[in-house]
A = this chain, B = another copy of it.
Amino acid sequence: MTRPSPVSQSLRAWMDVFMHRSMRNWHNFAKSAGLSMPQFSILMQLHHKGACGVSEIGERFDITNAAASQLVDKLVQSGYVERGEDPSDRRAKVLKLTSSGQALIERGGQERHRWMDDLVKSLSADEQKQVSEALDILTDAAQRMEEKT
């Protein structure tokens, strides 16, 4: 058992402080929009990764294509997702957020992150710069790791 590095410890501390609160915000927002968690997760997924097919949804969430198809269908009927044809493969569908879906995700982001603005305001200008740069480094690294999986 190797000891975790200082960075890992900082990361864990950060996570422990904020995980619970953010999770609850996220869940409550989905619920208030009349969406189940799986449904909202799909919207998040489309927002993050852009348009994709039904099978990719299934793979991401480790469910069958049947389940993915059914979930997507509900989102289509709710007006949050557009299910278009793929011109290069007439079997495939192209799923993308509608403007309504986009707006929902953005509104969720605003609500979930409002407390972050207050947090940022409590920092000095120098601290803000430092934090900003460091978080960009982390975000880039995390996205690179995500792509590799």
Chain A residues within 8 Å of B, Cβ to Cβ: 4-23, 26, 28, 31, 37, 41, 44, 48, 62, 109, 112-113, 116-120, 122-123, 127-139, 141-146
19 more A-B contacts (CB under 8 A) besides A16-B109, A21-B142?
A: A4-B117, A6-B128, A7-B120, A8-B113, A10-B132, A10-B135, A11-B119, A11-B132, A11-B135, A12-B116, A13-B135, A17-B139, A19-B23, A19-B26, A20-B48, A31-B62, A119-B141, A130-B137, A131-B138
Q: CA of A142 to CA of B12 in the docked complex: distance in angstroms?
A: 14
Q: State the oligomeric state as a number of copies.
A: 2
CB distance from A145 to the nearest CB of B (A): 6
